[in-house]
A and B are shown apart, each in its own frame.
Chain A
Amino acid sequence: MFRYTYNTLAYGREPLAEGIARLARYGYDGVELVGEPAEQDVGQIRAALHRHGLVASSIISIFTPERDIVSTDPAVRRRAVDYVRGNVDHAAALGAEVVTFTPTACMKIVPGAERAREWQWAVEAAREVGDHAGECGVRIAVEPWNRYETYLINRMDQAVAFVDEVARPSVGVMADTFHMAIEEPDIAAAIRRAGARLTHVHLADSNRAAPGYGHIDFGPILAAITDVGYDGWISYELLPAAGDVWGVLSGAGAPEFGDAYTEAAITHTKKIVSDLRTVR
């Protein structure tokens, strides 16, 4: 039985309590939060979750030029690691199970140092946040991004190699089907190769809209997620068709990412999961 959650990043500047209410309305089990601990009141979020019978599932980390795990500036690297540690603390305080991790600033596509050196910085950072997460009972999910958002870890095989080198039980890999539809020849096969390392899942269709609004066949993907024994969260990270997604979400917004996609995402997935059960 999967548990379902939805990344509230898509709700833009809407107050979090409204997003939590919406997710409860459409049958979600959890809420995925954007990792900005300084802007979020743990007490208020817990109260809203309690009111609607939901839990915090996961926290997505936002990596900017000021929070770049492989910056050539040691102060920036330190700040990035401290930021992820802060997200782990935030997760522990909220009862969330997973914090995401990607070792470059989002949209950074030119390396600042040699690959081997950046890789080593990233491994060391992941070990440090992984050790901290382990102490807090939280897991770290390393997320590959598509070629337009990063250059360092674009594919599952790279994430698997990274996580194996990090070698911490609290650090695993993440699958996001939007990125994978660009980078992987076979999404389901990539998930099978991740195996027991699979720690978090973002479903989005080929165009980053709700599953069912693009052309990804989610049947084999959900079968693979089931077969590797994954018992974590199924989340949806749905974002507008733009290079600058936050510009769109924080501006005029993208109303379809509210009720329409929130309902469609879970409905479409549950239908496929139910069909798979019947077939098996």
Chain B
Amino acid sequence: MTRPLGLSTFLLASPFSDDAARPAFEQVAALGYDLVEVCVEDPGRLSAPALTEAARETGLAVGVCGAFGPERDLSHDDPGRRRQGVDYLRDCIDLAAAVGSPHVAGPMYATTGKARMLGPDERAQQFRWAAESIREAADHAGECGVTLAIEPLNRFETDLVNTVERGLELCAATGRDNVGLLLDTFHMNIEEKHLADAVRLAGDRVFHVQVAENDRGTPGSGHVPWAEFFGALDEIGYHGQVVVESFLPTVAEIARAVSLWRPVADSPQALARDAIAFLRSVDDSRDRS
């Protein structure tokens, strides 16, 4: 089955803004992608009309992904800080509804890069706060017809949700049907014992997929077991988006957390071009088999 392929704005401009939208969408359309995933680093510089206009002109769809910097911590000890985090996520949800994104995706449970040593009681408390904040946002999202796709991150980027297993626990703790998972192959390569097993475990909770190679470079250029990964997505009947995500060295909001010290491709354009060629070839070989 062919799934819509997208490109993350983290590879186009950071922070992404209305001003950058039109040329960026044109570039992504020319490369043959089906959608642009807009990463909301600075909500003040993004508006639904500019994005929908660019999308209509280029025939692309729009996805929405959050960027959870230090001021957007949905499981912070301080309730005021958690409120700030929830308010940001609600802004993302409103944007998603307005631009037609089926979801808001991202590691929304905590500030990215927070990887501390906590005792079991503190850890459990942080988890409860994350569930409580996400539940509130999910209720708002439900009214807008939007889902939330929680992204597990590797151990160096978060201490709260590293695996599909833990992500499913968080989904369950929210008690909401419109909360599921975003699977990202870069993080899975580090944390999951077996990628296909992890995909099958997530099952119908897979709401969104991001792909990058083991070094966050071009899919197909490293050792991520792609055939196994996409085969498992076929098995669980995942028809949703597959978005290529890597980062410009200039990424602002979560730069330290991402720790990308070197270019992982000749250029962002080369990565975007080679990635879609690879993903289409994977599609073709599956269709033939």
A contacts, CB < 8 Å to B:
109-110, 146-149, 151, 154, 181-187, 206-207, 209, 213-215, 241-244, 247-248, 251-252
A241 touches B155 (CB 8 A): yes
- Cross-interface CB contact of A186 among B222, B256, B262, cutoff 8 Å: B222
Tell me which residues across on chain B come within 8 A of A213, comparing CB atoms: 193
Chain B residues with CB under 8 Å of A154's CB are 261-262
Q: How far is the CA of A146 from the CA of B214 in the complex (A)?
A: 11
Asked whether A243 and B156 contact (CB < 8 A) given A110-B256, A151-B261, A207-B192, the answer is yes
The majority secondary structure among interface residues of chain A is: loop
Report B-chain residues with C-beta under 8 Å of the C-beta of A251: 117, 119
Determine whether the beta carbon of B195 is less than 8 Å from that of A148: no
A151-B256 Cα distance, complex, nearest whole Å: 11
Residue of B nearest to A115 (CB): B261
Q: Is the CB of A215 within 8 A of B214?
A: no
Docked Cα-Cα span, A186 to B213, in Å, equals 11
| Residues in A whose Cβ lies below 8 Å from that of B221 | 185
Q: How many residues on B have C-beta within 8 angstroms of the other chain's C-beta atoms?
A: 30
Contact B259 A109 (CB under 8 A): yes
Q: Is the CB of B115 within 8 A of A185?
A: no
Is B225 interfacial (CB 8 A cutoff)? yes
Residue of A nearest to B163 (CB): A241
Whether the Cβ atoms of B215 and A183 lie closer than 8 Å is: yes
Please tell me if the beta carbons of A214 and B193 are within 8 angstroms of each other in the complex. Answer: yes
Contact B260 A147 (CB under 8 A): yes
- In the assembled complex, the Cα of A186 lies from the Cα of B215 at a distance in Å of 11
Q: Which of A109, A146, A242 contacts B117 (CB 8 A)?
A: A242
List of 10 A-B pairs having minimum Cβ-Cβ separation, nearest first: A243-B115, A247-B117, A148-B156, A185-B222, A244-B117, A147-B259, A151-B261, A241-B155, A148-B259, A243-B156
Does B223 make an interface contact (CB < 8 A)?
Answer: yes
Q: Assess whether B214 is in contact with A185, with CB atoms less than 8 Å apart.
A: yes
Known: A186-B223, A242-B115, A244-B115. 7 other contacts (CB 8 A): A110-B256, A181-B190, A182-B190, A184-B215, A206-B189, A243-B156, A252-B120
